[in-house]
């Protein structure tokens, strides 16, 4: 496993960090907790020392699964990354979406990061994760109804109280990061980044490089599309959010697979799957600290982690990027 220092912190995270969204089942058509626990344990055995979760993933279920999975692991050898600012139990803040929980019940989700909510969510996360501190505490999405000052003064107090080690953000613009930085030192920004979604290269990457902030790239395999295993006409389980995303239109699946076939010889040469090659390319991009990779079972977790046993030369990275420039997807 390769390890990367996150920003100006002493968090030395595995370049592949376990993404626990699917472990919560919500929006992924459900999931078995035993499979998720075995996946986390298998990842740890392969050198993955960091797990990223959030309360909204399964409305607490993902955090509970993570808490159970790490119970038997040395706490000082595993980094717990979680989030705050998405409430399904309080109608306050920015309305985010209508959804259904894992039991099929309708829920309304709000983006809210008022001070009292930040503190409550932290206490709830500590309980579910079965720990007395969180290594990286990240706002999940911006909340336009709460001043950034209020939110991050609350996070700063959690840090001073020893309940949180470092503060991070997710899905924040450069201007929002700069504002938050006035009240607490940010470690990182967690943002979507993949071969198919490179918008952050314009502003976020330069800002983070200049200011020594880490970038946690989420959905680096674009929710499974970049594994090459999907085909036009792909069937998704009831409740799986992917069936409504533009990337999964039949034409985009076809074009993506055509691109993947162009880089497959390099994967074959290195004894890698396409997904592993994609992860390697991702962590070699400027400014990217780690790639978050989800796994629904132990086999997937091991495969993701073992991508780091290989490496890419500068020329190989450039060759992949060159092929990528010819890929045109339809919105």
Active site residues: 57
Name every residue whose Cβ is closer than 8 Å to that of residue 210 and which is 6 or more positions away in sequence.
none
How many other C-beta atoms are found inside a 10 Å radius of the C-beta of residue 98? 9
Q: 283 and 290 in contact (C-beta within 8 Å)?
A: yes
Q: DSSP letters of 168-206?
A: EEES--HHHHHHHTTTS-EEEEEEE-BTTB-GGGTTHHH
Could you identify the residue written with the tokens 């977790």? 301
Angle between helices 148-160 and 115-129 (to 10 degrees): 40
Inter-residue contact 48 to 7 (CB < 8 Å) = no
| Cα separation values, 256 from 193, 195, 263, 313, 318, Å | 16, 10, 11, 23, 18
Are 11 and 78 in contact by the 8 Å Cβ rule? The answer is: no
* Backbone φ and ψ of 41, nearest 5°: -65, -40
Q: Are 102 and 60 in contact (CB under 8 A)?
A: no
Mapped onto helix, strand or coil, the DSSP state of residue 112 is: coil
Surface-to-core class of residue 191, CB atoms within 10 Å of its CB (0-12 exposed, 13-18 middle, 19+ buried): buried
Of 299, 313, 219, the closest CA to residue 45 belongs to 299
**Regarding beta strands 86-87 and 106-111, do their DSSP bridges make them parallel or antiparallel, or are they unpaired?**
antiparallel
């Amino acid at each position: 496993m390769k390890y990367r220092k996150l920003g100006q912190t002493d968090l030395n995270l595995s370049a592949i960090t376990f993404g626990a969204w699917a472990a919560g089942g919500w929006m992924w058509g459900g999931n078995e907790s035993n499979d998720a626990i075995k996946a986390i344990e298998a990842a740890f055995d392969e050198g993955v020392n960091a797990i990223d979760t959030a309360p909204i993933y399964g409305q607490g279920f993902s955090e509970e699964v993570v808490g159970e999975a790490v119970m038997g692991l040395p706490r000082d050898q595993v980094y717990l990354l979680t989030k705050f600012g998405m409430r399904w139990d309080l109608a306050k803040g920015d309305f985010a979406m209508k959804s259904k929980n894992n039991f099929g019940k309708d829920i309304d989700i709000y983006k809210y990061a008022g001070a009292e909510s930040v503190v409550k969510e932290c206490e709830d996360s500590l309980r579910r994760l079965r720990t007395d501190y969180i290594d990286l505490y990240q706002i999940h999405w911006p909340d336009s109804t709460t001043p950034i000052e209020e939110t991050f003064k609350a996070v700063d107090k959690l840090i001073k109280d020893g309940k949180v080690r470092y503060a991070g953000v997710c899905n924040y613009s450069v201007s929002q990061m700069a504002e938050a930085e006035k009240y607490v030192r940010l470690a990182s920004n967690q943002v979507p980044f993949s071969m198919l979604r490179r918008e952050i290269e314009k502003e976020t990457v330069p800002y983070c490089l200049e200011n020594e902030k880490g970038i946690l790239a989420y959905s680096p395999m674009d929710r499974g599309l970049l594994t090459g295993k999907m085909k036009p006409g792909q069937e998704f389980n009831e409740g799986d959010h992917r069936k409504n995303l533009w990337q999964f239109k039949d034409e985009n699946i076809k074009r993506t697979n055509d691109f993947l076939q162009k880089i497959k010889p390099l994967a074959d040469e290195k004894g890698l799957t396409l997904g592993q090659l994609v992860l390697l390319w991702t962590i070699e991009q400027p400014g990217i600290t780690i790639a978050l990779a989800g796994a629904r079972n132990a086999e997937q977790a091991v495969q993701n982690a073992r991508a780091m046993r290989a490496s890419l030369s500068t020329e190989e990275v450039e060759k992949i990027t060159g092929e990528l420039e010819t890929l045109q997807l339809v919105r």
